[in-house]
Structure 1
Amino acid sequence: MNARPAPEFPTWPQYDDAERTGLIRALEQGQWWRMGGTEVATFEEEFADFHGAPHALAVTNGTHALELALQVMGVGPGTEVIVPAFTFISSSQAAQRIGAVAVPVDIDPDTYNIDVAAAAAAITPRTRAVMPVHMAGLMADMDALGKLSADTGVPVLQDAAHAQGARWQGKRVGELGSVAAFSFQNGKLMTAGEGGALLFPESDLYESAFLRHSCGRPRTDRHYLHQVAGTNMRLNEFSASVLRAQLRRLPAQTELRDRRWALLSRLLGDIEGVVPQGGDVRADQNTHYMAMFRIPGISEADRNALVDRLVDAGLPAFTAFRAVYRTDAFWEIGAPDESVRQIAERCPNSEAVSADCVWLHHRVLLADERNLEITAEIIADAVAAV
């Protein structure tokens, strides 16, 4: 690659006096857990309002959010959950860890979101949920998924770990009539290092989730009368205070990422052999959690070597998720009665994207235009050297 200055990107996570003030506020209130303090409850109100949902529940992390949502939706031993084959492993493990079978289905090769026709074909009498993942903040086809749910009676659980603030045809995540799960892990669009949240369209599911996330104990219980089997998924007051500040900063960052992606995707599309992640005009707010692109036809080994070169050149670059069924973890518990080969044969797009896709951390999209031009030049040189 030609010698050039390394690009400069903003650091992540970002914080300022808003987070400091929040942490001191949480510290000085004298109660550091959600049952005695006010930060978690206030964050839940603000997060629900931001997404247009009746109810929000903050939890320890995004994986727990998925597990808890599935449990209150009736998922457990003897049931199945349909997940995209191309996703972070938590999407499938959340179902598997509560005793269900995770059934991977293929994705669209342009958007990397779940193929709704493939999901429909995988539904059986044991299916209790379809879990689309809004990949990199681009919402899945919620019209088709809503129709599938209405036609079959199988509810949708939105894995919105990448999609804080996303919209579908003007509707926010919480206005789409289905449960949605979020992550606040360190790399996410808003973060407290770890954390998660759920949005609920109805009170019954919310109340059931609240009980189960707090060891099955009602809010006002003083006599240890635990009503259901649960566990401790309660978020702490310090994390909630940080997330309140992060949420206020999110809209401006989302707007900037959207503008910068318009430039970077055009620059990437001009590079021979590079295909940036596509879009959907109905998804009218894409949060761009990752800047993703494919190099169709490249081998996985060459893709991995290319990522190494990008990292050496100063880019926060990563290989794409491995198809979930291509991991040992997927087969430990809750795997379908199929072989890797059989699943791969019905998931050709997931096979391809897993091998040829690269992503850049979203802080790249917070940089100025010149640094995005340098980024594209580095990628062009790296691809040409394959």
Structure 2
Amino acid sequence: MNARPAPEFPQWPQHDDAERDGLIRALEQGQWWRMGGSEVDSFEREFAAHHGAQHALAVTNGTHALELALQCMGVGPGTEVIVPGFTFISSSQAAQRLGAVVVPVDVDPDTYNIDPAAAAAAITPRTRVVMPVHMAGLMADMDALGKIAAETGVDLLQDAAHAHGARWQGKRVGELGTVAAFSFQNGKLMTAGEGGAVLFPDEAMHETAFLRHSCGRPRDDRRYFHKIAGSNMRINEFSAAVLRAQLSRLDDQIALRDERWTLLSRLLGEIDGVLPQGGDVRADRNSHYMAMFRVPGRTEEERNTLVDRLVAAGLPAFAAFRAIYRTDAFWEMGAPDTTAAELAERCPNSDAISADGVWLHHRVLLADEQAVRATAEIVAETLGSL
């Protein structure tokens, strides 16, 4: 491969005076936790409105968002939660830490999202929740999943950690009538380093979640009458102030990423041996948390070498998530009564994407067109040299 200058990509996280002003505002209000300040309350209102939800609760991180949501949905010992086999491990661990059994099912080989037919086939009398993960910002088939939920009575929890601002057939995440959980970890589409949020469609569940995220203590309690079991998942005022600024530029960034992905996916698709993540016309707004592609026919070792060489060439490249059942962590608690080999046989697409998938950080899609074209050229040259 010929040596070339590395493309120039924007740094992430991005910030400007909006974040600085927010931090000073939080600092000078004199109360730095949510029970005395106003930044968290304001962020929750703004985030809920932006996503078309009735209620939002900000929490410490995205994993806690999932765990809290699942607990409020009745997940615990004796229940099962269906998750895609190809996802970040938090999707399963949040349920496993509550004592539930996680049942991985396969994903679509083109979109990388949960296969509704596989989810439906895995439902048992113990199933409490099906958790679609909107992989890389592309929303899962919420029509098919909604039909399954309506027919079986099993609830849906959208893992929207990648899907800030995404839409399904014109509907925002909070307009689909289900609970949804988000992450604000450092690499996410909006971030305060860490953080998370849960959207709720009704007041009763939101109030229960508030109690559980604040050690079971009501807002007006002065005598330590903790009403229900909970934990401390409260986010602080400084993080909320930063997130308010991050939210203000989300829409413009999504528009730019979508424009750049249209170009990059076409260029990647023209490379022999590269298969970009597909789409779904019903997912009419993809927030593009990752630029994902596969190199089918390559071994996992070759994929790993490719990623290492892309990084050396200046691209923010990563190997795809490992299928959750291919990790030691999955088997520590709340695992189904089967083996990794049996799950791999049931989830061939998850296994394949885990071995041959590559993703580029979304700041590639915030770069100029020249950098996007250079990215595709580097992928082509690097893959050709393996």
Q: TM-score, normalising length from structure 1?
A: 1.00
Residue of structure 2 equivalent to 1:87? 87
**Structure 1 residue aligned with 2:160:** 160
- Alignment RMSD (CA, Å): 0.4
Q: Aligned runs of 1:69-108 on 2, under 5 Å? A: 69-108=69-108
Residue 50 of structure 1 aligns with an amino acid whose one-letter code is H
In structure 2, give the amino acid aligned to 1:9. Answer: F
Question: SS of the residue aligned with 2:112?
Answer: coil
Q: Which residue is equivalent to 1:213? A: 213
Distance in 2, matches of 1:198 and 1:369, equals: 35
Partner of 2:56: 56
Q: What does residue 281 of structure 1 align with?
A: 281
Unaligned runs of 5+ in 1: none
AA in 2 matched with 1:118: A
- Matched with 2:296 is 296
State the partner residue of 2:227: 227
Aligned length: 386
Alpha-carbon distance between aligned partners in 1 of 2:21 and 2:193, rounded to the nearest angstrom: 17
Counting only pairs closer than 5 Å after superposition, residues 146-295 of structure 1 correspond to structure 2 as 146-295=146-295
Counting only pairs closer than 5 Å after superposition, residues 123-138 of structure 1 correspond to structure 2 as: 123-138=123-138
- Aligned to 2:158, what secondary structure does the other structure show? strand
- Whole-Å Cα distance in 2 between the matches of residues 204 and 348 of structure 1? 40
Q: Taking every aligned residue pair, what percent have the same amino acid on both sides?
A: 79
- Give the match's secondary structure for 2:284: coil
One-letter amino acid matched to 1:269: G
Q: How far apart are the structure 2 equivalents of 1:280 and 1:2?
A: 37
CA distance in 2, matches of 1:383, 1:356: 12
Q: Secondary structure at the match of 1:156?
A: strand
Amino acid at match of 1:160: A
1:128-161 deviation line (CA, Å, top 9, x unaligned): 0000000000000000000000000000000000
Structure 2 CA distance, aligned partners of 1:234 and 1:351? 36
> What 5-or-longer segments of structure 2 have no aligned partner?
none
Q: Does 1:363 align with 2:363?
A: yes
Partner of 2:27: 27
SS of the residue corresponding to residue 267 of structure 2 reads helix
Deviations 1:251-288 (A, max 9, x none): 00000000000000000001001010000000000000
Instruction: Report the equivalent of 1:120.
Output: 120
Q: Which residue of 1 aligns with 2:327?
A: 327
Q: Report how far residue 382 of structure 1 moved.
A: 1.1
Aligned to 1:378: 378
Q: Aligned partners of 1:316 and 1:295: how far apart in 2?
A: 17
Any idea what the Cα deviations from partners look like across 1:147-192, whole Å, max 9, x if unmatched? 0000000000000000000000000000000000000000000000
State the shift of 1:5 in Å. Answer: 1.3
- Distance across 1 between alignment mates of 2:54 and 2:306: 45
Q: Which residue of 1 aligns with 2:306?
A: 306
Give the drift of 1:238: 0.1
Tell me, in whole angstroms, the C-alpha distance in 2 between the residues paired with 1:91 and 1:3: 40
Amino acid at match of 1:246: Q
Q: Secondary structure at the match of 2:318?
A: strand
Q: Distance in 1 between matches of 2:367 and 2:141?
A: 30
Aligned to 1:133, the other structure's residue is in SS state: coil
Given residue 256 of structure 2, which amino acid in structure 1 is its aligned partner? L
Q: Deviations over 1:104-147 (max 9, x none)?
A: 00000000000000000000000000000000000000000000
Distance in 2 of aligned mates of 1:5 and 1:229: 56
Q: CA deviation at 1:292?
A: 0.1
C-alpha distance in structure 2 between counterparts of 1:123 and 1:249, whole Å: 40
State the alpha-carbon separation in 2 of the partners of residues 35 and 187 from structure 1: 28
Question: Partner amino acid for 1:178?
Answer: T
Moved over 2 A (4+): none
How much does 1:385 deviate?
Answer: 1.5
SS of 2:5's partner is coil
Output the CA distance in 2 between the equivalents of 1:84 and 1:281: 21
